[in-house]
Amino acid sequence: MKISGRGVDGFLANPPAAVAAILLHGHDRGMMQERARLLAGKAVPDINDPFCVTRLDPDSIGKDATLLVDNAAAMPP
């Protein structure tokens, strides 16, 4: 599913429970971080728990694009 700019706020306010992973991207890194914190806070009790949250930065993904697939596949159902 791809959420356009107009639909982002509604999605962030009430993300569907069936969504297992979310990829945020954009030119405004601060906005992406803010949205990521908001979504993670709705999904896990502690967003700083490395067993619940995976943080991937653009530089790491640029060096190894398989990080996206590998981390998504490692998530429990």
Angle at 37 between CA 16 and CA 17, to 5 degrees: 15
Rounded mean pLDDT of 4-26? Answer: 84
pLDDT score of 32 more than 80: yes
| 3-state percent helix, strand, coil for the chain, nearest multiple of 5 | 50, 0, 50
Please report, as a single letter, which amino acid is at residue 5.
Answer: G
Angle at 20 between CA 3 and CA 55, to 5 degrees: 85
When the pLDDT of each residue in the chain is averaged and rounded to a whole number, the result is 87
pTM listed for this prediction: 0.72
Domain span including residue 59 = 5-73
Higher pLDDT, 14 or 20: 14
Query: How much of the chain, in percent, has pLDDT values that exceed 70?
Result: 99
- H/E/C letters for each residue in 48-66? CCCCCCCCCCHHHHHHCCH
Residue 25: predicted pLDDT: 83
Domain tally, the chain: 1
For residue range 46-69, list pLDDT tens digits in order.
Answer: 999 988 888 888 899 999 989 989
